Amino acid sequence: MSEYIQTLSSTEPRARKEHDCDACIWLRDYISEIDAGVLTWGEKRTIVLARQVNWKIQKGQVHIHQRNIMDGHFYTWRAIPAIHEICIKYNLYPDL
């Protein structure tokens, strides 16, 4: 069974309500693998701000909203753009 993800749509709307940030899940799980010395001041600030709001996308916050399909299953993925960029930069997502 392959684990190929196909993105059907991707937008950056303002949240109408609070949502879990899917990128924050990866960041929380793998932050210990990032050498704190390599994080920029801005990245550290972004992480602190996300932690302060319980790793949630806040109402009114612009976020990434994707509708994806993987192995025949549809799902929605949401992320704070700055956290998503940190995950990409430090290769925290799995290679699918």
Amino acid at 11: T
Structural tokens at position 8: 């059907």
> In a structure prediction context, what are the per-residue pLDDT tens digits for the chain, which is 96 residues long?
456 889 999 999 999 999 999 999 999 988 888 887 899 999 999 999 999 999 999 999 999 999 999 988 999 999 999 999 999 999 998 865
Which pair of tokens denotes residue 1?
């069974």
Name the pTM for this structure: 0.88
The confidence score (pLDDT) of residue 32 equals 84
Beta strands in 3-91 (DSSP E): 5-11, 19-20, 56-57, 64-70, 73-79
Question: 5: which strand partners?
Answer: 70
Environment class of residue 41 by beta-carbon count within 10 Å: exposed (0-12), middle (13-18) or buried (19+)?
exposed
List all residues 6 or more positions away from 93 whose beta carbon is below 8 Å from its beta carbon. 26, 87
